[in-house]
């Protein structure tokens, strides 16, 4: 089922999301919700989506890195769900690139500085703890989605708004 996407100004997007119970994840209690998140992400051609973007203040995200559809030379990451995710930068190196967001329709191209490499801690789809490092575009996608879990949107990370442009994409 395609869910309604929360747009900038909705309180859920600006609030820190609640952690989910690892036992509920292990039991598969969120599988139907994940299927709806996937349907919604695909309908709007997103790379990722976080629960707050569909009016659900829980620390759940879904994403994939598909180099073919995004025209990027990156390692493919299959459709992946994480629960209670958090990240920290590895080192001080950052890189700037443009971003857009399903919750910020009609704006694209915001130049956002992000850590080049991050360490992620989360629960996987079976409720087991995982920890790994991600770099490049993979790290950017994860930072963007985890920021949603903390009540942030990419506009909050921008140093300068001049790179934003109107687009029908994400609208």
What distance lies between CA 36 and its chain's CA centroid? 15
Q: Which domain holds residue 98?
A: 11-166
pLDDT in tens, 107-121: 888 899 999 999 999
Strand partners, 132: 120
Is 89 in contact with 115 (CB distance < 8 Å)?
Answer: yes
- Quick check: is 92 catalytic? no
Q: Is residue 6 part of a domain?
A: no
Geometric angle at alpha carbon 115, from 114 and 118, rounded to 5°: 130
Q: What is the mean pLDDT of the chain?
A: 94
Q: Is residue 171 part of a domain?
A: no
pTM: 0.94
Helix (H, G, I), strand (E, B) or coil at 103: coil
The answer, yes or no, to whether residue 125 has pLDDT greater than 70, is: yes
pLDDT in tens, 80-94: 999 999 999 999 999
CA torsion, points 168, 104, 158, 80, in degrees to nearest 10?
Answer: -100
pLDDT in tens, 155-166: 999 999 988 888
**CATH code of residue 118:** 3.90.45.10
Q: How far is CA 16 from CA 39, 75, 98, 151, 165, in A?
A: 24, 30, 24, 5, 28
Q: Is residue 146 part of a domain?
A: yes
How many folded domains does the chain comprise?
A: 1
């Amino acid at each position: 089922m395609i869910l309604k996407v929360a747009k900038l100004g909705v309180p859920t997007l600006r609030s820190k999301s609640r952690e989910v119970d690892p036992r509920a994840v292990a039991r598969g209690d969120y599988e139907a919700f994940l299927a709806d998140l996937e349907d919604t992400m695909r309908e709007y051609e997103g790379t990722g989506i976080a629960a707050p973007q569909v009016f659900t203040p829980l620390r759940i995200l879904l994403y994939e890195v598909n180099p073919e559809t995004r025209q990027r030379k990156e390692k493919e990451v299959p459709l992946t769900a994480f629960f209670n995710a958090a990240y920290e930068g590895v080192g001080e190196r950052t890189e700037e690139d443009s971003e857009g967001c399903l919750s910020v329709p009609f704006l694209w191209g915001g130049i956002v500085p992000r850590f080049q490499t991050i360490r992620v801690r989360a629960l996987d789809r079976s409720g087991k703890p995982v920890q790994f490092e991600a770099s490049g575009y993979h790290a950017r996608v994860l930072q963007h989605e985890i920021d949603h879990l903390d009540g942030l949107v990419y506009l909050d990370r921008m140093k300068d708004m001049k790179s934003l442009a109107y687009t029908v994409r994400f609208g």
